[in-house]
Structure 1
Amino acid sequence: MVRIKDIAKTCGVSTATVSYVLHGKYEKVSKEVRERIEAEIAESGYITNQSAINLVSRCSGLIGVAVMDSSDKKDIMGDPYFSILFSYLEKEFRKRDKYILIILDQSPERVVKDALRWNLDGLILSNYTREAMIAISQEFVKPIVTIDAAFVYEYDKLVQVFIDDYDGGYKIGSYLASIGHTNVAMLDDNDEEDTRHRWRGFRQSFIDNGIEIDESSHFIIDMKTEDLQEGLDRIYPALIEKSAVFCISDFYALRVIKYLNEHGKTVPEDISVAGYDDILFSKLSTPELTTIRQNVRQKAESAVDSMMKMIKNKPVEHNIKLPVELVIRESCRQL
C-alpha cells in the first residue's frame, strides 16, 4: 500500500508538503511542486477513494438529481415513481464511482447555486418546465440530462430522456374503445401545453375509432392549486357519468378507485379506471390496475450512460425517446 511518506520520498519533499496538497492548502506549496505531487498521487494509486480522485481530476464525483414540484401538497420522496427512479439512478452512478445529491423543489437559481457549491460534475433534471430548464442550462456549464421533459430543446451539452407519452395515451384509448367504451374522460394533473401529449394521444385514438371526444372530457386536478380530495369532490358529478376514466398516473388512478369505493361505486362494475406508470402498487390494488408501463430502469440507465459520455466528452444522442407498453389487468371491463 502506498503511503504519504512514499509519495514524499518519490517527489523529494516532506510529508507535510504532501499533506498540504492532499488537504487543499495550496498557498503553502508552489505550483510546480503541487503538480508533481498530484501526478504521483494519480500514478501511484494512493488513497483510491473519492477524495483522491477529486484531487487529481478536479471532479467532485457528485451528480445532482433535481426534481421540481412547486406544490406543497405533494411529497416527492413519498411518490413511488420517484423513489424507484432515485434508486436506479443511485445504483447506476455508483457502478461508475459517482454518487447522487438529491435537490428537491428548488428554483433554477437555487439549483445552480447548489450545483456550484458542491462542484457537481453534472445535473439530472426531472419534472422541470422548459423555462426553468433553459435557465439552469444557461448558468450551469457542465453536462445536463433531463428526464421526463415534455418538450424537445436542442442544446449540445444537454440530453433529454423521455418516454413516448403520446403513444401511451393512444394505446390506453385504443384499448378502452376496443372493449366498448365511448363515454370516457382523462384525469390530468395540469393543463400546460408542453405536458398534453398523453391527452392528445388518448383523444386521437377515439377520433380514429370514429368516437367524438372533446376538451370537456379532459378533467384537471392541479395539485399546485388544489388538493386532490377537493378536486375529486369537484369533478365527481361529471366523473360518474363516464363509463371509464384514464388517469395521468397510477397514483391518481389508485386514489380515484379509493374515492369511488368510499362513495359506494365499484371498479370496474360501475366505472373502469386505468392508470399510467405501472408502479408496484398497481398490482397490489383491488382490482389490479390496467395501466401503461414505462421502463424506469431503462430510463435511468439511458440518463446515466448519457451523463458519463458527456463527462468524458464523447458523442451522445441528444433526444432519447423510450417505448411504453399496455398492461391489461382487472380495473377495466368489457361493455
Structure 2
Amino acid sequence: MIRIKDIAEMAGVSTTTVSNVIHGHHDKVSKKTIRIVQDFLRETNYVPNLAAHLLAKKDSKIIAIVVYGNAQRANRHAGLDPFLSEVIQSAESMIRNYGYYMIFHVIEKDLTEITTLAMTWNLSGIILIGVGPLTANQVLRNIQIPFVTLDAYLNDPAFPNVGSDDFGGGYAVGQHLFKLGHHQVRFLSDNKLGVDYERWNGFVFAYQEQGIDLSENHHLLLKKQIDEREEQIIGLIPEFRRCSALFFASDFYAVESMLILQDTGFKIPENIAIVGYDNNVLSELVRPKLTTVSQNTQHKCFCAIERLIRMIHGEKLSTHDYKLPVELIVRDSTLPTR
C-alpha cells in the first residue's frame, strides 16, 4: 500500500507538501511541485486514507447512530428487528445525502461510554436511541457535540428529541377495540418505561372514558430472550382464553405471538383479536394481516437527522421535543367480539 511518505520520497519533497497537494492546499505549494506530486499520485494509483483525513478535521463528517441498553437486540437482531433495521437503513441513506458518513454503535450498560466514542471518532453529531430519564440526564449534559434522541421521554426541554404520539397511538387502539366490543383485553410489552408505557397509558385512558378500569394486571411483561418468551406465551394461553383481544407494544412481538398461538390452535381474529404497533413489513406479510399503528419510522429518522444537521451548522432549535402524529391501520387481525 502506497503511503504519503513513499510519494514524498519519489517526488523529493516533504510529507507535508504531499499532504497539501492531496487536500487541495495549493496556495502553499508551487505549481511545478503540484504537477510533480500529482504525476506520482496518478502513477502509483494512490488512494488517500479518508478515515484519517476526516478524523483530523474539525468537522469529521461522521454521525453515530447509538443504541443504548439493548445489546442483545442490537447485536444479534439488528437485521431482523424490523424497527431497528428500518432506522439504520433510513438513517444511512439520509446521512449520506447530507454529505456525512454513518457509524453504528451499541452501548450496553455505561452511557458515559458515549463521551469516549465522541472523542475517539471526532464525531460531528449523534442520534441516540433507547435512553431514559433515569440514566440519561447527567450524561447528556456532558456531551459537547450536537445530539438528538429518538423516542426518549427525558422530561427536560434542554434535550432535543424526535418522537411519536405514543399516548395517542395507544388511545386509538383502545377506542378501536372497545368499539368492536372487546372488554377483556391485555397489553403486552417487555418494559414499563418510555414509549411502551405511554402506549399503555393511552390504551388505559381510552377504556377509562368508557367506564372500564384497566389495572396493572392487564399489562403483561414479556421476556426479552426469544426462547424464554416463546415458553412464556405458551404458558399464558389459559389467560388468553379468557381474553378477546391482545395489544402488543410492537409488531415484532405481535407477529411472533400470533404464530405461536396459531400453532396451538387459536384462530385469529375469530378466537382472539390482535393489534401491534409500528406498521412495519411484518404486519403486512403475516396472515391475517395485522391491525397496527403506523408511526412512519422513515419520516421520524428524517426529522431527527434534519434537526441534527441544523444543530451541527450552529442553528438553535425553536422546539426541542418534536412529536409526530400516528395513524391506526385497521387490517384483518381484529373483528367484533362475539
Aligned length: 307
**Corresponding residue for residue 323 of structure 1:** 325
**Corresponding residue for residue 169 of structure 1:** 170
Per the alignment, do residues 35 and 238 of structure 1 end up closer, same or farther by CA in structure 2, a change over 3 Å counting?
A: farther
Which string of whole-angstrom CA distances, capped at 9 and with x for unpartnered residues, describes residues 274-327 of structure 1? 000000110110100000001111101111111111011112121100000000
CA–CA separation in structure 2 for the residues paired with 1:190 and 1:230: 18
**Corresponding residue for residue 79 of structure 2:** 77
Please say if residues 53 and 59 of structure 1, whose CA atoms lie closer than 8 Å, have aligned partners that are also in contact: no
Q: Classify the secondary structure of the residue corresponding to 1:60.
A: coil
Please say if residues 22 and 55 of structure 1, whose CA atoms lie closer than 8 Å, have aligned partners that are also in contact: no
Please say if residues 70 and 224 of structure 1, whose CA atoms lie closer than 8 Å, have aligned partners that are also in contact: no
Per the alignment, do residues 226 and 195 of structure 1 end up closer, same or farther by CA in structure 2, a change over 3 Å counting?
A: farther
Per the alignment, do residues 114 and 143 of structure 1 end up closer, same or farther by CA in structure 2, a change over 3 Å counting?
A: same
**Corresponding residue for residue 91 of structure 2:** 89
**Corresponding residue for residue 280 of structure 2:** 279
Per the alignment, do residues 95 and 303 of structure 1 end up closer, same or farther by CA in structure 2, a change over 3 Å counting?
A: same
CA–CA separation in structure 2 for the residues paired with 1:202 and 1:153: 25
Please say if residues 166 and 195 of structure 2, whose CA atoms lie closer than 8 Å, have aligned partners that are also in contact: no
**Corresponding residue for residue 314 of structure 1:** 315
CA–CA separation in structure 1 for the residues paired with 2:55 and 2:291: 51
Per the TM alignment, residue 108 of structure 1 is displaced from its structure 2 partner at its CA by 1.2
Structure 1, unpaired ranges of 5+: 5-13, 25-33, 39-45
Per the alignment, do residues 225 and 262 of structure 1 end up closer, same or farther by CA in structure 2, a change over 3 Å counting?
A: closer
**Corresponding residue for residue 156 of structure 2:** 153
Per the TM alignment, residue 116 of structure 1 is displaced from its structure 2 partner at its CA by 1.3
Per the alignment, do residues 290 and 58 of structure 1 end up closer, same or farther by CA in structure 2, a change over 3 Å counting?
A: same
Structure 2, unpaired ranges of 5+: 5-12, 30-37, 39-46
Per the alignment, do residues 251 and 37 of structure 1 end up closer, same or farther by CA in structure 2, a change over 3 Å counting?
A: farther
CA–CA separation in structure 1 for the residues paired with 2:22 and 2:141: 32
Please give the residue correspondences for 1:232-311 in structure 2 after superposition, counting only pairs within 5 Å: 232-311=233-312
TM-score (norm 2): 0.81
Please say if residues 63 and 99 of structure 1, whose CA atoms lie closer than 8 Å, have aligned partners that are also in contact: yes
**Structure 1, 242-251 or 181-190: larger mean CA deviation:** 181-190
Per the TM alignment, residue 57 of structure 1 is displaced from its structure 2 partner at its CA by 5.0
CA–CA separation in structure 2 for the residues paired with 1:113 and 1:19: 32
Which string of whole-angstrom CA distances, capped at 9 and with x for unpartnered residues, describes residues 67-122 of structure 1? 12446366233211111111111111111110110002433133322221111111
CA–CA separation in structure 2 for the residues paired with 1:276 and 1:194: 11
Per the alignment, do residues 111 and 52 of structure 1 end up closer, same or farther by CA in structure 2, a change over 3 Å counting?
A: closer
Please give the residue correspondences for 1:1-335 in structure 2 after superposition, counting only pairs within 5 Å: 16-20=15-19, 37=28, 54=54, 58-70=58-70, 72=72, 75-106=77-108, 107-155=110-158, 158-192=159-193, 195-223=196-224, 227-316=228-317, 317-335=319-337
CA–CA separation in structure 2 for the residues paired with 1:295 and 1:36: 49
Q: Partner amino acid for 2:148?
A: V
CA–CA separation in structure 2 for the residues paired with 1:135 and 1:23: 42
CA–CA separation in structure 1 for the residues paired with 2:140 and 2:218: 37
CA–CA separation in structure 2 for the residues paired with 1:278 and 1:162: 16
Q: Classify the secondary structure of the residue corresponding to 2:253.
A: helix
Per the alignment, do residues 227 and 130 of structure 1 end up closer, same or farther by CA in structure 2, a change over 3 Å counting?
A: farther
CA–CA separation in structure 1 for the residues paired with 2:195 and 2:254: 22
